[in-house]
Amino acid sequence: MKKGSYVSILGDGGWGTALSIILYRNGYKVKLWSAFEEYARFLDKKRVNSKFLKGIHIPYDIIITSNLKEALDFCNTIILAIPSQHIRGVLNRIKKAYLQEKVFLSVVKGIENRSLKRMSEVIYEELGNVNLAVLSGPNISFEIAKSIPSVSVVASKNSKIARYFQDILMNDHFRIYTNDDVTGVELGGSLKNVIALACGISDGMGHGTNTKAALITRGLVEISKLGKAMGAKKETFYGASGLGDLVTTCVSPHSRNRFVGQEIAKGRKLSQIIDRMDMIAEGVFTTKAAYSLAKKYKVEMPIVSQMHSVLYQGKSSSKALKDLMLRKKKSE
Amino acid sequence: MKKGSYVSILGDGGWGTALSIILYRNGYKVKLWSAFEEYARFLDKKRVNSKFLKGIHIPYDIIITSNLKEALDFCNTIILAIPSQHIRGVLNRIKKAYLQEKVFLSVVKGIENRSLKRMSEVIYEELGNVNLAVLSGPNISFEIAKSIPSVSVVASKNSKIARYFQDILMNDHFRIYTNDDVTGVELGGSLKNVIALACGISDGMGHGTNTKAALITRGLVEISKLGKAMGAKKETFYGASGLGDLVTTCVSPHSRNRFVGQEIAKGRKLSQIIDRMDMIAEGVFTTKAAYSLAKKYKVEMPIVSQMHSVLYQGKSSSKALKDLMLRKKKSE
């Protein structure tokens, strides 16, 4: 499984598109699957994903299709790049295919609200014991597509699978680290979105870099506490898929979750904000899941708890931020 | 030593001025000492530190003086807020005073190039075994003076002294954590400036958030490795004085070290850049010290090493960044 491998990317979002372009550049045969026939035709004709990855040309050798069977038959390697809310639907459509010889990479972020399961758990549940790794890191799709120097993390219980994806994804501009802590890598990539919402609120209130740094630092503390309670390694949260991704999401002007926070700070209602967005702000759902997980594992998560009050209990964002600052004196 | 304490701040920079304003607001009697008679008169008359803290009013009850004896006689609490290059000079001028009943807080960042000593080590060397704590955290002076929500860390071997400074500095907008790892807190506050230079270079080359997140994450890994070798606790580097301060410095548009990096990426010579700056970019000196420390403690520090080559051996910044990305494949 080296040069010459056939890779199908399931999902037509910004990240799926950027990954298809990287793999094409790295010398692989690539198919990009969209769930929407009309949008697949549009992508194939225009060769720009104008909804999710503006201004980036999609090479003609990347085959675009909305035929799921065609995408599956074509490849030995499948990248799952579908929003968490829709992943079960797609997994259900592919579970009857013969998948044992295929290798899967999940780049899906989020936690299922109903079951509180991570995405790899959902995938195993639906597909059985497939060959699986997950990818997560400080990776804004547009920058990856532009070959801006970036790092990321591939995690798998099976080190061979992790190294396989390290091999096919890594190039001069994209440095991949392997890790065996799947739980930690998935949680870091999901929970960061709650802290990004808090950073958005802080930005919307006109606060500065100091406040953002405080939210990032204390956010990482509570995320890693929850992660440890859930069986992840603490160190993972201080690596590229934890700290790195958290910083990117809290700082980037492109972050959807930060945007939602900013709008909330301006006094707009969550439902109004979401209605007007083209893309999905995962953090809105993840806040609910994180709040439930904190209760389940009895971990104190002050930022998650305040964000939950703001999003779902009508608490004012200025009161929430004040309550965070006024907690009792502590050592680190 | 509570309300009613008398505090003298030695040093007329942005940070010293901001701390004098906070302590005044918290109810203490405050003197601010400038080494320069003329600038002290200017500050006293204008009540704005227009060189280092533009647009912030200095309350009239803060006494401004250039008389060091007057500042020492006045107080029971001394804050050292002097650039690292000048700290020995000032310590030499005060070492003959009776200092045993006074409490010191060092907010000085940097490592002495000649001796590779941290600032608290320099202070003990000059003043003997005084009561000492250090303060470091994600604190842009201007934002602190504006009461923007911020956190910081006070560290001391003596927990009573740490708690004393927590008590007098903390308020609704400024949350202070205590810590007993003086080495870790001082190293975090100093070494971050080397990574900020690298982030400045990345920005100057037009790279994005992904690259910055990678530099921050991997920078923290090498800083904490060196710290551990020097006797600090690894966790300290993931707290507000490590990670928090690193993020702030690498992201803030006000960072002097980041600015120097940006200018280097444009192809300008280090000597030219420094000549034209009003303020001191500590990172330029700290790079040298960090490079020597890495050798002394036999710790691999790829970013420090590349920055040393760029600043002092004429290596091009694009080659340095490329060499960082192309290191051999690794697990985290």
Q: Mind listing the pLDDT tens digit for each residue in A164-189?
A: 999 999 999 999 999 999 999 999 99
Whose tokens are 């080296």? That residue is A2
Residue A166, Cα to own-chain centre: how many angstroms?
A: 18
Is B178 in a helix, a strand, or coil?
strand
> Amino acid identity, residue B223?
I
Residues of B acting as catalytic residues: 192
Cβ-proximal residues to B274 (8 Å cutoff; 6+ apart), any chain: B260, B281, B284
- Contact call for A240 and B139, based on CB within 8 A: no
Q: Is the pLDDT of residue B164 over 50?
A: yes
The predicted-structure confidence for B226-238, as pLDDT tens digits, reads as follows 999 999 999 999 9
Q: Which residues from chain A sit within 8 angstroms of residue B239, using beta carbons?
A: 217, 221, 332
Q: Do B140 and A251 touch (CB under 8 A)?
A: no
Question: Which residues on chain B are in Cβ contact (under 8 Å) with A329?
Answer: 166, 170, 176, 178
Which residues in chain B are closer than 8 Å to A203, comparing Cβ atoms?
A: none
Per-residue pLDDT at B97 exceeds 70 = yes
Q: Is the pLDDT of residue A3 over 70?
A: no
Q: Which residues of B touch A150 (CB under 8 A)?
A: 210-211, 214
Q: What is the mean pLDDT of residues B226-252?
A: 96
Q: What is the pLDDT of residue A4?
A: 55
Cα–Cα separations (whole angstroms), residue B22 to B32, B150, B169 = 12, 12, 7
Q: How far is B320 from chain A (nearest CA, A)?
A: 12
Average pLDDT of span A313-328: 86
Bridge partner residues of A171 (DSSP): A174
CA distance A229 to A234: 10
pLDDT, averaged across chain B: 93
Contact assignment for A213 to B149 by CB distance below 8 Å: no
Q: Contact, A56 vs A142, CB < 8 A?
A: yes
Looking at residue A255, what is its pLDDT? Answer: 82
% of chain B at pLDDT higher than 70: 98
Answer whether A175 sits within 8 Å of B214, measured CB to CB. yes
Write down the pLDDT at residue A327.
74
The average pLDDT across A191-195 equals 95
Facing residue for A325 by CB, picked from B172, B210, B236: B172
Query: Given pLDDT bands bounded at 50, 70 and 90, which one contains residue B276?
Result: confident
pLDDT value of position B44: 97
Find, in chain B, the residue whose alpha carbon is nearest to that of A241: B217
Token representation of residue B43: 């500050």
* Side chain identity, residue A246: L
Least confident of A95-99, A289-293, B151-155, B173-177: A95-99
Instruction: Taking residues B97-116, report their average pLDDT.
Output: 93
Q: Give burial (CB, 10 Å; 0-12/13-18/19+) of B16.
A: buried
Residue B1's pLDDT is 46
Q: How far apart are the first and last CA of chain B?
A: 47
Give the distance from residue A221's alpha carbon to the nearest chain B alpha carbon, in angstroms.
8
Q: What is the pLDDT of residues B320-330, one digit of tens each?
A: 988 887 777 77
User: If residue B115 lies in a helix (H) or strand (E), which one and from where to where?
Assistant: none
Percent of chain A residues past pLDDT 70, beyond the cut: 98
pLDDT tens per residue, range A267-312: 888 888 888 776 677 888 899 999 999 999 999 999 999 999 999 9
Residue B134 has pLDDT above 50, yes or no: yes
Residue-wise pLDDT for B53-83, tens only, equals: 999 999 999 999 999 999 999 999 999 999 9
- Least confident range of A216-225, A265-274, B214-223: A265-274
pLDDT tens readout for residues A229-258: 999 999 999 999 999 999 999 998 878 888
Q: Are the beta carbons of B173 and A207 separated by less than 8 Å?
A: no
* B239-266 b/e (C-beta count within 10 Å ≥ 16 → b): bbbbbbbbbbbbbbeebbbbbbbbbbbe
ipTM: 0.91
Q: How far apart are CA B282 and CA B152, in angstroms?
A: 20
Q: How far apart are CA A264 and CA A260, in angstroms?
A: 6
State the pLDDT confidence band at A221, using cuts at 50, 70 and 90. very high
Q: Check B212 against A140: CB less than 8 A apart.
A: no
Does the beta-carbon distance from B247 to A247 stay under 8 Å?
yes
Distance between CA atoms of A264 and A99, rounded to whole angstroms? Answer: 44
- Residue B156's φ and ψ, nearest 5 degrees, are -155, 150
Among partner residues A148, A178, A329, which is closest to B210 by beta-carbon distance?
A: A148
Predicted pLDDT at A282: 82
Backbone angles phi, psi at B151, to 5 degrees: -125, 160
The count of other CB atoms within 10 Å of the CB of residue A33 is: 28
Residue A12, pLDDT score: 97
Do A127 and A155 contact (CB within 8 A), yes or no?
no
**Residue B254's pLDDT is what?**
78
- Tell which of B217, B255, B321 to mutate to test the A interface (max A CBs under 10 Å): B217
Residues from chain A that touch B143, judged by Cβ atoms under 8 A, are 208-211
Put simply, the answer to whether A213 touches B247 (Cβ < 8 Å) is yes
Question: Can you tell me the mean pLDDT for B136-157?
Answer: 96
Alpha helix (H) residue ranges in A128-181:
141-145, 159-169
- Report the residue from A209, A212, A217 with minimal CB separation from B243: A217
Mutate one of A140, A153, A215, A217 to test the B interface: name it (highest B CB count within 10 A): A217
This prediction's pTM: 0.92
B236 vs chain A: nearest CA distance in angstroms? 8
